[in-house]
Amino acid sequence: MSIEIRDVSVRYSVNGKPHKTVINRVSLNIRQGDFVSLVGPSGCGKTTLLRMIFGSQFPTEGEVRFNGRPVEEINRDRGIVFQKYSVMPNCTVEHSIALGLELDGGNLTQRILHTPHFRRVRRSARSEARELIAKIGLKPEDGDKYPHELSGGMCQRVAIAQALITRPKVLLMDEPFGALDAGVRKGMQQMLLKCWQDFGTTIIFVTHDMEEAVYLGNRVVGLSQLWETPSGEKGTGAVIVSDRAIPGGKVKPYSFKYEPEFSAILAQIQHDVLEPEDPLTPDRFIHDHPDSIKSLA
């Protein structure tokens, strides 16, 4: 699996007037198995970047390649978890999770005729869904519940499980824990790290919560429109101002949050990405991740 983002810009024309640049010539490589946190101030286009990898939005300039091919549509290679509305309101938990395998379960005639093939696919899908229910920390009896009977955190667990069941090569997550309170978040983060380990999926995780980003990811990419050109002019559009490898091992223990190393990196990234008083110039961008590409040097 590889994701290559090459000189991608996103511009909007407002009422035919000169374009507003949201993302300015961003390049990025993401390799198999990484947990990439994508952070940045609101409006910096981190969700846009994620959607371009997903295939639901396209760059104005440049190219997003997945396994060497330009991304042209949404498909089973890339799973997604949104902040909300990822879960079907009319399906039980088990059904929701199994859906990804059932959608693959033969064509319409097989479904209507209930052919043995269709029944076999459905049976194995449901049993796999039940295994996943345990993995995401729900009780077996929760499998028969509908989303409206679940808490926000449980719904997001289901959303993660339903995306993982098809074994996507990369899991894209757009503020998945954004609507959850701190206590619930902590449990969700642990669960997500465990899933990352078990499934070996690449994860791209968009969040505005810096602490969450640094704790979860082994790479933090900071996208920001708060930067300056060497001559001191305000930068146009967001660029990658920070691309850091996070130490602490693949799956960090929760105590990592209390290490001085963690605090130092967190403070640095927070400054680099979010500080409007002291905007970085390209020479101060920190790109210490081995895969990082300096596009504006």
Partner 1 sequence: MSNLLRGDRRPKGLWAHLLPMIPFALAIIVYLWVAHVRHTASALENEGVSREKVTPTATQLVEGIKTVAVKKDVKTDKVLLWFDTWASVKRFVIAYAFIFLPILVGLHMGVFPYLESALKGFVTFLGMVPPLALTAIIIVVLGVEETPKIVLVMVGVFPTVALSTYLFAKDVPNELIESALSRGASQFEIVYRIVLPVIWPKVLDSIRLSFMAGIQCLLAGEFMIASQGLGYRIYLMKRTIQMDMIIPYVLWMTLLIFIADRLVSLWISKKYGWAQR
Binding site for partner 1 (CB under 8 A): 54, 56, 73-76, 78-82, 84-86, 88-90, 99-100, 103-104, 108, 146-148, 159, 162-163, 165-166, 168
Contact 26, 295 (CB under 8 A): yes
Helix (H) or strand (E) holding 197: helix 182-199
d(CA 179, CA 149): 17
CB-nearer residue toward partner 1: 103 or 267: 103
CB-nearer residue toward partner 1: 86 or 242: 86
Min separation Cβ 165 and partner 1, Å: 8
d(CA 79, CA 170): 6
Contact 235, 22 (CB under 8 A): no
CB-nearer residue toward partner 1: 17 or 148: 148
Helix (H) or strand (E) holding 4: strand 2-13
Min separation Cβ 76 and partner 1, Å: 5
Report CA-CA distances (Å) from 149 to 122, 123, 138, 146. Answer: 24, 25, 13, 5
Q: Would you state the torsion angle of the CA atoms of residues 21, 54, 249, 180, taken in this order, to the nearest 10 degrees?
A: 90
Tally: H helices and E strands in the chain: 8, 11
CB-nearer residue toward partner 1: 89 or 200: 89
Residues 6+ positions from 85 with CB-CB distance below 8 Å: none
Min separation Cβ 166 and partner 1, Å: 5
Min separation Cβ 159 and partner 1, Å: 8
CB-nearer residue toward partner 1: 161 or 210: 161
Min separation Cβ 17 and partner 1, Å: 25
CB-nearer residue toward partner 1: 80 or 188: 80
Min separation Cβ 67 and partner 1, Å: 16
Min separation Cβ 206 and partner 1, Å: 14
CB-nearer residue toward partner 1: 126 or 257: 126
